[in-house]
Each structure stands twice: as C-alpha cells, then as structure tokens.
Structure 1
Amino acid sequence: MTPGPLVGAAHGVITPSRPGPLAGYAARGPVLATSTIDDLEATVLVLDRVGLRLAWVTIDCVAVPTALAKRLASVVRDELGAGTRVLVAASHTHSGPAHWLGRFAPGHEAPLDRLAVDELLEHVRVIAAEAFHRRQPSDLSWAEPIVRGLAAPRAVASEAIPIRVGVLAIHAGGVLRAVLVDAPCHPTVLGAESTGWSADWPGGLRRALRAAHPGVEVAFLNGACGDLSTRFTRRDSSAAEADRLGGLVAEAIIESVPNARPLVGALTLHDGRVPLATRRVDAEEASARLNAARKALGAGTDPIDRSLVDGALIELAVARSVVDETIEVPVSIAHIDGICWVATPLEVFSSTAASLGAGRTVRLLGCVDGYLGYLPDAAAVKADTYEARTALFAPEAEPAFRIALERLLTLIHPSLTLETP
C-alpha cells in the first residue's frame, strides 16, 4: 500500500503596511486603500508524495503577474528545496493591492512599490518555512459539495445557480488539518466604491471554517468563474454580505468532509503550453464604443451598464496595446487518484470547465502563475459581453484551448477520457 503523503500547511497576514492603490476595478481609478476591512492572507500547502514535492501558494490579490509569481516561487524553493514544484494562485479579490502588481493587464496598472513587494516576499518566505516544518503523515480525501445561493451568470440578470466546489481535505491524527478549496465564483461582493483591503467572500469562508475546525488551514483557489459572480445573488455590497456568502461555501464544505472519498496513489504534475490566437481591436471603434457605453449608463447605476463602461475602458487599452499574434498559455495539471487540477493564468468560463468535466473530475482553475485575462466562450462573444470586450484572445481561442486540454488530459491518464456509468 502506498504510504500517505507528508503534508504541511501554514498561513499568515500579508496586508501591506505601506499605503497603496487597490486593484481589480478599472472604474475605481488610482484610489488608495483607506482602511483594512479584513486582513489579506497567504497560505502555503506542501504535499510530499512519491518523489514529488508540490507547494500551492495562495495569495489574496486580483492577480499574480508572471514576474511576481516567479519571485514568490523562488523564495518558497529557498525554504522547501530547489526541486520543489510551486504553483502560485491569486484569489482574484478586487480589494487587494495594485502596487504589488504594476501593469498586469491592459487597463490595469499602477506604480510598482518594490518595498511593498519585498515585504510580501518575506511574509511568504516565513509562511513557507512554517508549512515545511509542520509536515506530517496525512490522509487525503476528496469531496465536491454543491453550493446554492452564491453564484449566478453575471452578463444578464439571473437567478442563482448551483455550483460544485472542489475540496481536498487533509487529515492527520484524525484531525482536519487543512483544506484546498476551489470555487467557480468571482470574489467581488465589495464593489468599486469600496476602498478597504479585503479578501472578500473567501475571507468569510476561511473564518467560518476556522470557527468550525479551530486551527485548520484553508488554501483558496479561483475556479472557472469567468462568467459567474455574486452580482445578482448578493443582498448588498457590504463586508457582512461577503461573510454571509463565504459562510454558504463553508457550510457545504463542513457537511461534505465526513463523507469525502479517500485518495490513494501517486501525486503527479504535468506542464504544457497552449498557443492561442489573439484579437485585433481598432482603437477608433473602441473609443466610439466607450462613448456609447457611457451615454447608455448616464447617471444610472445598472450593474450591467456599469460593467460595459468598465469593459469599454479596458477594450480601448487593449486596442492601444502591443500584443503578439499568438500567446503561449502555460498550463499545469496536478493529478492524484483520478482528480485533476488544471491550473491556468486565465479567467476561464464555466462552460469550458463543464466540457472538460464530462464523466471525470477536472477542476479548472484561473489566475495561477500569471494573468492573461478572460477566455470567453462563443455565447459571450456573440452577446458582446464585458468579458468578450476585454479579452486579449480571438473568438476561436476558447475551442482551441478545450481541444488542447483534452489532449493533455489524455496523455496524463488515458482513463480520464472515459465516461463513467
């Protein structure tokens, strides 16, 4: 029988001590954070199994640009060993720092504060060392509970839809020590008017899980949420509402863990690169669309009209950017006992995830090891949504991406292509 892995996890507060602008909403502009609503955190989860040491590093911020991801991975390897594989994931909260990121996407830029970045790196170094120190033989199990009331399609006024949340539960000595959670819903309860640091609803999720299981470590991954958010499910845009919605996810996780399926076998990690075609945007047309969107919004507050103004601002920035005809998109796939986590630097759609998950367990993740923005599906392109307007990629990119991922999954484990009864 394959021995259980050595697993260690730790978290720490990473809220900047230096003042700086918030990242996430183009409409917010270069507004400085004025308070801390709830502390930002980083979590490091280390798994050692059969010759592979994998570290998940989860950070409360809107994105982790490639350069920053590489620096974070480097400080983690300094503590865990040069051969450690490191995946750095942003929670995608829109109430985190911009001065860690600099220019991370068209329409999203701020002056890079090197002292603030150095502070973040040191925080993560300390957290990684603690996670490594805590490693102990552990049992892994898997659950995919359904969460209701959190997410809804965000391009049109919609009712909540049920979503499945991925839960890797780690027990040692009969005690729940850590969970790796991925959820397909934008962490955007707090709006552009909010000027406080906050983890948004994933912070509420963590606090609720810790209340139920004191000492548990919670690593949060951003799922296939490109088209899903709390826009039409939240009661308001308050911190209390973020806590309520995070609590819905925590409740589902707490109920699912006792019946989670034990995982056995080796942990593997596979890397690939997928070339995707980019699109060309005419600057004059983009400017005209921005004027039209602003006119349609007027003095109104309709959330979709507001998002289209935001999208038109970013589309104009895309038009003015120099982008290669194709972009090589990195993909990393972690696999254990039939569960695949597909890590991408994109904001992927739920339809893309659904096409990959037919008859198998594939958790499609976004905002990992870089940030390349939205990969809209055909429906979003046809409807000319915010996500389609702001995308770097051509309409044919999403189906090409699905085909490429199918091939990668087949190479990893041929049985993953088989439908289950």
Structure 2
Amino acid sequence: MNLDDFSDLIERPDGGVRRDAEERRERLTVPVGALGRLDELGEWLSAAQQSVPVKAVERPRVVLFAGDHGVAELEVSGRRAGTAHELVRAALDGASPVAVLARRFSVPVRIVDAGLDCDPELLPDAVVRHRVRRGSGRIDVEDALTAEEAEQAVRLGMLIADEEADSGTDLVVLGDLSVGGTTAASTLIAALCGTDASVVTGRGGAGIDDLAWMRKCAAIRDALRRARPVLGDQLELLAAVGGADLAAMTGFLLQSAVRRMPVVLDGVVSAACALVAQRAAFRAPDWWLAGQLSGEPAQLKALDRMALTPLLDHGVTVGGGSGALLALPLVQAAAALAAELPERATEPAADEAEQAEAAEPEGAAGVEPSRDTKPADTTA
C-alpha cells in the first residue's frame, strides 16, 4: 500500500458550486458579512454537497477510534497505561462527556477498537471485532506497529469510512479514546513540522504535572530520533511512532475525502492523523473542519500547517470527541441559515423601465397637447 495513491483519488469540493453559493448569499436579505463565519461554513457545505441551496446536516455521527499506547508505561499520561478500555466503557454507558453531548444532540456514537490493551470480553463485539493488535509498542525504543499491522489499520479506517458513507452519514465528528495517544500524536506532528519535542509537548486531556511533562518531552524527543529517518513514507512513519488507532484514523480521513464526506476534527490526535493524511494527499484538508482548540501546542502547529481555523475555543481539553461535537450545532446552524433565509425582492431593470415609458400613449407622460394658434376674433 502507498498512501500517496490517494492524491489521485481525492478531488476538492466543487468550486463552481461554491461560487454559486456565494452569489446566492449576496442575494439574501441579511447583509453579507453580518453572519460572520457562518457564511463561510454554509458555502463550504454547499461545495461539499454539490448543492445550492445547501442541504441540512441531518445524519451526523460521532466516530471514535480507541487504542492503548505502550509509551504510557513511562507515566506520560494522567491515566494508567492500558486503561483506555475504561474510557470506552464510560462512553458506552453514557457516562462520558461525549456521550452526554451526543445524547443531548441526538447524534449516534460509533466506537472502533483498533488497538486496546484489554481482554475482548470486556467490551461488546461490535466494538472489538476490528482490533488490529493488543496495545502498541513503546515508540521511544521500538516501533508501534509492524508494517503489516500499519497497513491493516489504515485499511480498517478506510472500511469504516466506506460503511459510514454507504449508510448515509452526511458529516462525521472524529475523535479518539486513548491513553498515551497525545504523546504519539505530538511525535508525528513534530516530525512532520520539523520542530523540537519541547515545542509540541502538552499536558494531555487528563492533565499531567511538571515531572510527567518532562518524561513526556523526553519520550517524544527519543521517538523523534526514530521518526525522522522514515519521514518519506507515511505508512512507515505510522508504524514507527503512531499506533493502530492513529493509523486507522488516517485511513478514515483519506477515504472520507475520497467519498466526499465532511469531517470535523477534535483534538491533537485527529490533527496529527490529518497532518499525515495531508502529506499523502494535499487536497484532503479541504474536506475537514477543525472543531476546537484543545490547548495542546502540537494541535495548534498542525492546524496552522493545514491552514485550518478552529470553530471554537472554549478551553475544552477532555478529548474523546467532546470539543468537536460542541461545534456541530454551529455547522448545522450555518446550513439552516444558508438554506432558509429569503432572498431580496428583485428590482425592475433600467431598460425595462425605459421600455415601459416608451410604450405610454402620447400626452400621458407630461407631453403638452397641440394648441390652435389662430388669433381670436376681436370685432364687436
């Protein structure tokens, strides 16, 4: 498998349709610019859907890829290594932030186990049946995946994207449920952006103290030494310092762009996968929105590289798709406004007015009638 092949498969959203959407926006009763970024979102959706006016976003879905990362053994996360399945269980039980929001917004949630480090019996078969491997290697000293596992994970993501597109999903909120995932994601971003570990190291969704931050920074530094020699091959890079969940998310993003299915990115993990996907197919980011700023410096660096401006900045660091899901109502509002606001009444054209004036009968438009010039009779 060569991820560069996606470059020939992915097209940008229809530019002609977007111009039509912009022209329609100029005819609406609300002045251009008065709705701020909602105008841009509505036009982007029109181009993605190839529809003017834009269609409502009626079948969104949250898709979460789950996995454990061996680097968490170094205590670089606020959670214990190998406990990502607890995050999955909380989401399934409706007790996590993303589950609460999804319930409130009436959006279904799909969780895909790509590389959890737990017994499959702990979770439903619908979640674990696609697992690529149990956990991943410690990226500071060994590869996260074998080459075969990396390809299998990418193909898993492609399969999930096809299933969602075929089922009628019209927009995906993409996130992760992982322990140690931000360390792997930050390594990918640092490698692809050519920066140092200290520039991209954050404190993760669970929050870590200063000592854990220093351990995380050292782990990313060591992993970067292993990542830089394989920068020329995205699949090798994912195998070296990624993980099954990150490789699957990368495949999902690429295939979603092929299927013209818009995606809202959540935090640093989805941003890292998007950056890898952009490296393979430069048009792919045109199909993505950045849902929110997570506070991770690596995420900001990745979004800047892809020229994606986040929709929200509410300080939400919890991860798991929550921040991106909060942006969904904004996208739906943009679609509703673009589709349902009325257009201004058209005024008669100037040439039509002139033709109407020319058709008026003589004397009806201020023309004086002819007068008898014969002098009056003055004889007695």
TM over 0.5: no
Greater relative contact order (Cα < 8 A, sep 6+): 2
TM-score by length of 1: 0.22
Larger helix proportion, structure 1 or 2? 2
